[in-house]
Amino acid sequence: MLTRSCLALKGASARLSQSAVRSMSSGLKPEYEFIKAEVNGNAGLITLNRPKALNALCDGLLKDLIHAARAFDNDDNVGAIVITGSEKAFAAGADIKEMATREYIEVYTKNLFESWTEVTKITKPTIAAVSGFALGGGCELAMMCDIMIASESAKFGQPEITLGVIPGCGGTQRLIRAVGKSKAMEMVLTGNMIDAHQAERDGLVCKVVPNDKLIETALKMANKIASFSRPAVAMAKETVNSAYELNLAEGVRFERRIFHSMFSTEDQKEGMAAFVGKRPAKWAHK
């Protein structure tokens, strides 16, 4: 006869096995060297995993991250993706040891950091769940995500000036769009960090939560997003991001045309019929 503890262990093992099966079916690798990746409900969770280096963003970590993000992007059962690190560090920056001895011709011909932009090409919403340090490339990676949630311990900064360089992964461009010119200039030119609450006041993050609620909050948001029509979510993400590239008149026109196009989808018909019929919608994701 199985004891209660044995039954609990058996149940946990079964849940773990189901999670492993779902992760494998997502096109993920069985194991990654520098990250962990798993499915939680209808959300993909990617955890940066270089604890001794405070999740410094080496070439291998970026390759692992992009592979997992693409796998989740291609998984019909995943509707949103959470990227996180450890409690001590989301990512303390790019791997300086890896870069320190490189020469100009090498970084130029290899177009160093160009591959990082692949994170911004993921079509499903991405949520950065930030605890601890998000500095340099770590801050830039978080800004590449669509939504940023911070724990109370989070600290953000672009300290590249202290190394004799400038941000190279979009820091000077995305930071100004998030917090404005004056604050961005201060952070880039002084290397000063801001804490989570300052980041929320400045508009860099959408909310600040207790450290022990960060992943729960991010996954809850991701699963809520995943509960809606996939085409509608993808179109909403594309339309909001277009504001970075278009003037107001063109942006509003683009938004209107995308709205018009949604009347060709099954989910628009279902969503409005469900509202009129006062019932939950059953999305076909078409």
Active site residues: 94, 137, 140, 160
Give the three-class secondary structure for 195.
Answer: strand
What is the C-alpha to C-alpha distance for residues 29 and 68, in angstroms, rounded to an integer?
8
Give the three-class secondary structure for 32.
Answer: coil
Q: Between β-strands 89-91 and 147-151, what pairing exists: parallel, antiparallel or unpaired?
A: unpaired
In sequence order, the 6+-apart residues with CB closer than 8 A to the CB of 83 are 46, 48, 65, 69, 126, 127, 128, 129, 141, 142, 145
Q: Radius of gyration (Cα) for the chain, nearest Å?
A: 21
Phi, psi of 89 (to 5 degrees): -155, 125
First to last CA, the chain: 49
Strand partners, 209: 151
